[in-house]
Each structure stands twice: as C-alpha cells, then as structure tokens.
Chain A
C-alpha cells in the first residue's frame, strides 16, 4: 500500500541525442544477461535488505525473461552455501560463492576486486546492492572500477519497455521530486536500495538453485588496509529503526527535548522504537540513529505515530509505507494529514499521555483476558 512512487506511469525512453552522448548499447555489452543481487551478511546472518532486493530482482528478471543470481563473499568458514540455499528460496536461480581468508569481515579492497571480477566474468546486466554502509562503500567503488552507471537509494525498480533498460526511480532534491534514471549505453546497470524500501518477499520452501564456487586470488600481504578489531554494538544501544514494528516519532511540535519523554513512554508501552525528524536530530534532541526520512532511515512499521510532525516531504518519503499512520498536530492544515490514516488536531503534549494510558489499559485488560 501507499507506494511512495507512481507505479503505473512508464518512463519514456529519452531522446537519443542528449549532449552528443551515445545512448545506444554497444554491441559487446549486449551479451550481459541476468539480474544479480550482492548478498550482504554479518554476524552469521544475511541482511534483510538482500532478501528485499531478491524480491525485486525476481520481478525484473521475469520481465526480462532472464535469471536471478546472487554473489556472496566471505571467510573460509562462513556459511555462504547456507546463505545461497536461503537465496534460492527467495527467488535466486544461481549463487556465485567466494570463500577466502581475506574476505572475512568487510574491507573495500578485496570485496571490490571480488565483485568486480565476478561481474567481468559472468556479465550480469543488472547488479543490485543494499544502500547500507557496506553496500554504498562497495557499490561506489565497483561502479567506478567498471565505469558504469549507479543509481543510489532507489524507491522503485522497473524495466523500461522501449529500451529494456533498468528504470530506477529515486527521490531527488531532498525528496521533493522523484526522478527515473537509466543507464543505457553501459553494463551492468547498478542500483542501491535502502533497507525497508522494498517489501520482504515470501520464501518458497524447497526451491533449489546452482552454486558456483569462485576464487578471489588475492593474498593478505597485498592488501593495504587491515581490520584490527570489530566492536559490536551493545544490544541495549542498538536502535533498529528500519525493522521496528511500532514507531512513535516526534517533531519540533514537541517544543523542547524534555517533552520527548512522552514519545519514549508511548513507545515503551507499545514495545516500539522512537523516531524523530531531522530538525530534532540537528538540534541534538535525540540520537541521529533515530532520524526518519530522506537523509535518515526508511521505515515501514505496522504502526507509525507522528507527534508534532508537520509532514515535510523529507520526512514523508521515509515513513509513508507504514501500515497505519496516526498523526497528532495542532495545525489542521499540516501536510501530515494528507497521508496519515488517522489524524487528531490537538496538542501532542496532551494527546500523547492520554494515548499512552489508553494503550496501557487496553493491553493490560486484553493480556489478562488471554491469560
């Protein structure tokens, strides 16, 4: 629901002139076939964004009549084959697996070489990566090395019917507008997508695929950057906004940082996370990890409660895919009411405690009834 972009308007193929550029695909690049997803994993798990991308990759490949493959790189003892098997369940047909001691823990140099080599060897026409700190670091490096186009933070991926090119739609100008970008004369066509922008696909049990083992051919002594240590975040400090089921967010309408405790209290009762708008983060009211929106996190919780948030487009693009959006704002004309499901025109400082109490009472009552 509430798709952030226009689903049905097809991007027109651009005029084949544009500044004397050749926009025809050269003959030697026509052999590039198939849709690839770079499988990102850490601490023994595949990042959910990779599965979300696989769902999109499957749709693109079906439109093109081609296959889906994943590239998964890691250390000698990491369970990459297990990740590959999971990927088959999410729609991949093939997995290129690369084990090497220098691929234990992400570093730009060996991962760039590994992925670049695989692309040059197997020539996919589309390569998708998650717009995470790893995916963005790697995508920019691989695209530059391959001298091809890369579109960041896409919100919609489609195939342009005229050129059969990837039509990648992304917000631009801070989310005020959307633009559709294509890479016509270069391959592969690369794109990154932020976590939670695409829906999680359904895994199919028993779906199988082919695993292809690959080698990197790079020794540790040839790599300049050394990974000295990895300090895992303490669980208590980890704010996993993109994957939270319930988010209560506050904006400048809360007037001061102390009032944010009302947001935290409601979030606590709901077992949810606390989000915030950019102005609140910039004012230092809450941690930057809590920022929802164009330059913060994209979220799609089941319930999103926006308190004292006007609903600027920069915030909207980060949360409008939420299942249920509740907005509380003193201004009846605030744009947030244009895309919230339920709205209360009122002072969040009064409404939040009432809502917290109502939820607490209701859940206690239902909890008892169930017990």
Chain B
C-alpha cells in the first residue's frame, strides 16, 4: 500500500433526508397513514475531500450544516444518497466487522457505557465486543487511565460521575480497541473550560502517540484552533473552505485591524478607516484588507505613532459572519 494513500476519501457526497410533513386534523392524519407527505432536506450537498493518515481535521459549521451527517456517513450509520465514500478502503455503509473494529465515533453527551455499573466493567464488555486480546486490553486501559486521569473515577458507577468525568470515561471506552480513525462529534459540548482543555490535550497526545487520524467537529473555535491545522468549513451542506486554519481568515475576512498607540487618541482618524475602539492611548482601526499597506504608510507618515500592529479580526467573528450568510452566498 502506498504510504500516501488517503485514509478517508469522499467524492460528490450527498445526503437527502425526507422529513414527513404533518398537518393537524383527523382527515390529514388518516391520509398520512397511507401516503406520507415528505419534504426534502439536503443535509449534505456534493462535498469532496480527502484525509491523509494521521491528519487531524476540524469540521466547522453551525448547527444543521451537515457536519454530524457527514460523520455518520463516514462511520456507516447513514447511507449516502449519492456520491462515493471510502474509509480505510472500506465502504462504510456496508458496516463490515473489520471496518467497525478500526473506527470509533464519539458523540458528545451520548452514552455508550452502562449507567449503573463502574466504567471498568463496561470496558470489559467492549473488550468482548471488539475481541481485544487480554494483554493488549490491559495495556490500553492502563494507558488511557493515565492519560485521562481516570484512576479515581473508573471504579465508580457511571451515574455517580460529573458530566466532565462521564465524558472522559466515555472517550476512554471508545478507544479501547485502538481505532485508527477517530470521529469526534462535538466532544467538548457542555463541559467547563478546564475540562475542555484537558480533553483537547488528550486528543492531541493520542494522535501524537498512535498516529490515529482524527476528524473533529465542533462549533467551539477553541477546539479547532487548538488541535487542527487543517479546517473544513461546512455550511448548508456545502464545503466553503478546505485548507489551513491560518488561511481561513485570509479567505473570508475582507478586513484587517490596525492597532495604534498614540499620545492623544481623540484625534480624528476617520479618513484612514473605521475606528472600532478608542482607549486613552490606543486606537483600533478597521480597514479593507487591500488598503492595509497604504493606510499603514499614511498613518506612520502623518501621526506620532509609537507602536503599530496589524492583526486579523478574531476568527470567531469571521466565522460567525460566514455562517450568517444564506446558501446562495456560499462560495
């Protein structure tokens, strides 16, 4: 097998849902019994991309963008309506055993472990399900306990754990079979900031140690920024951007921010650009990207500036702006 063959390969993938339309009233209900009236919802509309082994890719998109649907198709839970999809050279929807043994799907706040017994006992069941040899299993469990700091909680019934602790044992449980591909759907949702950071660190460490391919969806920018160099932005089922995180702002933001340190900030700077904030000795300007160097030169030439920095607007803002657009405006 060539070293560079992609782990995940998606071409012109489509997924259309048929959502039943319900009307009120008895007659409509009876009609509904025999002939369902359906509305078409295109959750995934012709997306194409590839993922190389060991890559960590972030899926960004607002709710309903198609991220979770894509992950479910990648893990074999949903059948695509059109297009091709291949993971580890398997067709996911065939759901072959050997395929299922090499992947894992973690959905935030979905429970896989049994509620009323210690996580360690549920791990035992996963061992049997995935047919993990005993020595490998013991080693993996020890490693996960160490990496995720589970020693104190892994023998308590899952229902007695806090939300963050539960998420940790759930993740541990889903990695017992050392999958090569990790699909993580909103893994940090609902957790506090400290726990989010811990889980992010864990994922990074896991990828580093085992070279697992990670596909991560989130609508927390922090997750994606911390873990992924490559980002795929999805909106209304279409890919808006696929590339480096740093390039994201370049592509979507038409603006740059210039922060000036000046002795008197009350001067009028409107000829240079839009003033977004004014503090005693600092002014923040927003200028069109194309004008950045011209404005910078002009400002330096005409004002007593002691410090000047050129920044990108915060990624969150950029993304928000992108998501706020309708499907027609999607690039």
Q: Verify that A and B bind, or say they do not.
A: no
